[in-house]
Amino acid sequence: MMNCVLIVTNFNAGRKKAVKYKKKVISFVLKHTKSFKFVDIDELREIDTNPYDTIIAMGGDGTVNKVLPYLIDSDKVLGIIPCGTANLLAANLGLSYKLKKTFNIIEKNNIKKADVFDINGNKCILRFGLGYDSDIICKTPQSLKNKFGYFAYFIAGILFALRLKKKEYRMTIDGEKYEINASCIIIANSSNMYRNIFSLANNSQIDDGIADIFIMKTTNPITFFFEFIKILIGIRKDNSWAEYKKAKTIQIENSWLVSHIDGEKKILKEDIILNIEHNSVNVFAL
């Protein structure tokens, strides 16, 4: 366990928590190995990751996304020190901002397999969002996130809900074609939202080989919030405002769609093809 460790840090994430945590993380790693390296996220491309059996991401979901390609279909294990604004994947895995709890999970060598989405060659372990979901993630100012933390997304969510717009999407879901007018589409591997307060899907698992699809059709803020409340209390059923689907393969006809992949803005120019790489990453988890 942790014979050779690479620690990848985003010092700008989540009110710069990584700066505060750095000494404690180094002290923790030194208890288990003297063979480790600390690098900034911008230096990752220059690093030979082959010698490392463990890669620890200190940052948010975007930081995790950037280390994913170095872990897929390997024996390496991903550890997460939650330092970002959202850290939805860490919350799904039972990892905590309380370092002692997260360190304890890593020390016990609790490892599970996780699925990864391949979206036109882009790797995604959390979720892919279009429309309203993309607006919240991509357009919430960093200054707001620095000031309010994760609550900034909640504020932005309310504001963007007041100006919802529909777009027509032509989708092929497990071979079946759909024409959908939607204000929001979320395709999730980990469907938990606002930490673990609620989920967008029923019986969603990060290792089940299935993508959970949430489609919001309404542009009316009142019906939108009504549907949101239903999700909060666990009522997730198809109706005229929302649809819930599960799939193994998804294609979307595309013309310059603005999206987010694990919290990072992405403009996709070609038709979107999403495939699931089942149980392709090892992660420390509760």
Q: Domain with 151 in it: what CATH number?
A: 2.60.200.40
Q: What is the pLDDT of residues 165-217, one digit of tens each?
A: 999 999 999 999 999 999 999 999 999 987 788 899 999 999 999 999 999 99
Domain count, the chain: 2
Residue 33 maps to a domain: yes
Q: Are residues 75 and 132 in the same domain?
A: no
Q: Residue 180: left (phi > 0), alpha (psi -120 to 50), or beta?
A: beta
- Give dist(CA 46, CA 190) in Å, integer: 30
Q: Identify the pLDDT of residue 155.
A: 86
In this structure, the answer to whether residues 160 and 253 fall within a common structural domain is yes
Is 115 within a domain?
A: no
Q: Token pair of 105, please?
A: 């999970």
Q: Of 53, 85, 109, which one is at a domain's C-terminal end?
A: 109
Among 7, 32, 11, smallest CA distance to 20 is for 11
- Mean pLDDT over 126-130 rounds to 96
Average pLDDT (211-234) is: 93
**84: in domain:** yes
69 found inside a domain = yes
Contact 123, 117 (CB under 8 A): yes
Residue-wise pLDDT for 74-101, tens only, equals: 999 999 999 988 899 999 999 988 999 9
- Looking at the fold, whether 137 and 239 belong to one and the same domain comes out as yes
The pLDDT of residue 84: 85
Residue 1 pLDDT > 80: no
CATH number at residue 11: 3.40.50.10330
| Owning domain of residue 224 | 122-278
CA–CA gap between residue 117 and residue 261 (Å, rounded): 10
- Asked if the structure places residue 283 within a domain, the reply is no
Residues 6+ apart with CB under 8 A from 178: 169, 170, 171, 172
203 assigned to some structural domain: yes
pLDDT (tens digit per residue) in 95-114: 988 999 999 999 999 999 99
144 band by pLDDT with thresholds 50, 70 and 90: confident
Asked if the structure places residue 46 within a domain, the reply is yes
Q: Where are the beta strands (DSSP E) in 47-174?
A: 54-59, 77-82, 111-119, 122-124, 127-131, 167-173
18 pLDDT band, cuts 50/70/90, is confident
On whether both 126 and 158 belong to a single domain, the answer is yes
Please provide the average confidence, as pLDDT, over all residues in the chain: 92
